[in-house]
Amino acid sequence: MTGTRRLPALGEQFNPHSNSLNSLRLLFAISVIFAHSYKLAGLPGMMPRLGDLDPGHFAVLAFFAASGYLITHSRERNSLMRFGWARFLRIYPAFWVCLIVTAFLFAGIAGAVGGGWSLTSALSYVVLNSTLHMRQYGIGNTLAFSPDPTHWDSPLWTLELEFGCYVMIGLFLTIKQFRRVRWVLGLFVLSTAAIALQQFEITHIPGGFIHNLLGLLPFFLAGAVTYKCGNVIPMSPILFALSFLIIVGAALAHCSAVVSPLAISYCVLYLAATLPPMIERIGDGSFDISYGVYIYGFPMQQLLVLGGLPHLGIGAMIAGSTALTIIPASVSWLVIEKPCLRLKNLSFANWRRLRGG
């Protein structure tokens, strides 16, 4: 009698050095542009949605799930200092450059056309937002022409939450006992319970950092759980289909934040492990413009609204803003992000040697 064939595990099939996650994250970033196109074209009511999910919202949730998987993998293989340095390099330098480009180039162009720009407001935009905590979204009165006259870069509010997740998992996994599956799973259950209490109005959490974090933390931790359980979670098309149905059902029932984190995490990692790499084949295989597309998409769209692109139709707005955002995103990756990431292997001993100490 022959035994049944064991399905390969997700952790066995997912190759950290050869997968399609960069392509998927780029797709998620483009989905955010897609969703914002309707808002900035003055057509928010026409945006496709499924229950409590629209393409942009789903993309952010999926991105946090993927991030939870990768960040947990990174933390377990690096010291806290090395991990923190690498996370800083991945987020902050490109973010700071984006603030400067938005304040002085994008807003400067809008100011030259319609007025409302001032050096004081541009400088305060850069300085006040430099920690990732967004305290100023507008720059003078430069967005008077836009359906959204208050936000030059609306998506940036999630970066503070993402970095907060990095800090949380970095510190949590510093305690060796907490690296066991049950502790990570327990943290996920607690975060899901907290958002369930909020969603079903059993308790009330005022708006702000904690409120926003609770909306995304279960998805980040679902990615962490998927990583920790990767050797026992099967790579199964049936499980993928079931997860997809859970996502759809939860969206239609308006309870995505409570029901779908693990399902979204599984679907994202399953696709990353099975789909052939696409943009990952560019250059040395590390080409990743998803972050640049995410942070430059909205200000680019605001400029295109100024130029009248929405008058050509929503299709032109989506296609034009996506195509043009690729330009600053690619520059950001090649000139800022990739060179900065080369510094992640520098230790303090390396710095002393570089300085001749």
What's the rounded Cα separation, in Å, for the pair 87 and 137? Answer: 24
Task: Please check whether residue 6 lies inside any domain of the structure.
Answer: no
Mean pLDDT over residues 219-230, rounded? 97
89: which residues sit within 8 A by CB, 6+ positions away? 340, 341, 343, 344
What's the rounded Cα separation, in Å, for the pair 336 and 270? Answer: 31
Task: Please check whether residue 350 lies inside any domain of the structure.
Answer: no
pLDDT at 198 over 90: no
Tokens linked to 152: 């030059």
Q: pLDDT tier at 348 (50, 70, 90 boundaries)?
A: very low
Q: How far is CA 275 from CA 220, 245, 272, 310, in A?
A: 22, 20, 6, 34
Q: CA-based diameter of the chain, in Å? A: 81
pLDDT at 336 over 80: yes
Task: Please check whether residue 1 lies inside any domain of the structure.
Answer: no
Task: Give the number of other CB atoms < 10 A from CB of residue 29.
Answer: 27
> Residue 225's domain spans which residues?
25-344
pLDDT at 68 over 60: yes
Task: Give the number of other CB atoms < 10 A from CB of residue 61.
Answer: 26
pLDDT at 351 over 60: no
The residue type found at 190 is L
What's the rounded Cα separation, in Å, for the pair 286 and 318? Answer: 26
pTM, to two decimals: 0.92
What's the rounded Cα separation, in Å, for the pair 289 and 28? Answer: 11
Nearest CA among 92, 85, 94 for reference residue 347: 85
Q: Find the radius of gyration of the CA atoms of the chain.
A: 21
Q: What is the pLDDT of residue 285?
A: 64
Mean pLDDT over residues 28-54, rounded? 96
**Domain count of the fold of the chain:** 1
Q: What is the pLDDT of residue 357?
A: 47
Task: Please check whether residue 349 lies inside any domain of the structure.
Answer: no
The residue behind tokens 């060179």 is 339
What's the rounded Cα separation, in Å, for the pair 242 and 220? Answer: 20
307: which residues sit within 8 A by CB, 6+ positions away? none
Task: Please check whether residue 338 lies inside any domain of the structure.
Answer: yes
pLDDT at 202 over 80: no
What's the rounded Cα separation, in Å, for the pair 120 and 35? Answer: 32
Nearest CA among 262, 330, 325 for reference residue 30: 325
What's the rounded Cα separation, in Å, for the pair 261 and 280? Answer: 26
Cβ atoms of residues 218 and 192 within 8 Å: yes
Nearest CA among 268, 265, 290 for reference residue 280: 290
Residue 144, classed as helix, strand or coil, is coil
